[in-house]
Amino acid sequence: MKHSDKQSEQLQKQMEALYQNLRTVRHSINNNVAVIMAMAELTQRNPAQCQKLSQLCLEKAPQIAATIGGFTELFEGAVSLQEELERQVPAPQDS
């Protein structure tokens, strides 16, 4: 197997992992935002819950940021490999 074939296969695997990670990221963010929204609604009905909402937001925000950061790292790795492959493949010549 040629070097570029191995890299293409590696890129395909990275793209599949990227897609799976994107699904996980969307799910995680949706869950965290749903919890925050539920607490916000509860706080509207019971203002005494405001402190709890504040604490929850402080806990969930870093979780969301970490989830996005992990996806970004995986995405940048796939983009770097794609760019490397494009540099290795010679451009088609006009006839």
Domain boundaries, the chain: 13-81
pLDDT at 27: 92
Say if CB 49 and CB 39 are below 8 A apart: yes
Mean pLDDT (the chain) is 83
How confident is the model at residue 89, as a pLDDT?
Answer: 66
92: pLDDT confidence band, cut at 50, 70 and 90?
low
- Range list of H helices, 1-95: 3-45, 50-88
Could you tell me the pLDDT band of residue 90, with boundaries at 50, 70 and 90? low
- Residue 54 in tokens: 């504040």
CA end-to-end distance (rounded Å), the chain: 29
More confident residue, 86 or 21: 21
For Cα atoms 43, 46, 49, give the angle at the middle one, nearest 5 degrees: 55
CA–CA separation, 3 and 11 (whole Å):
12
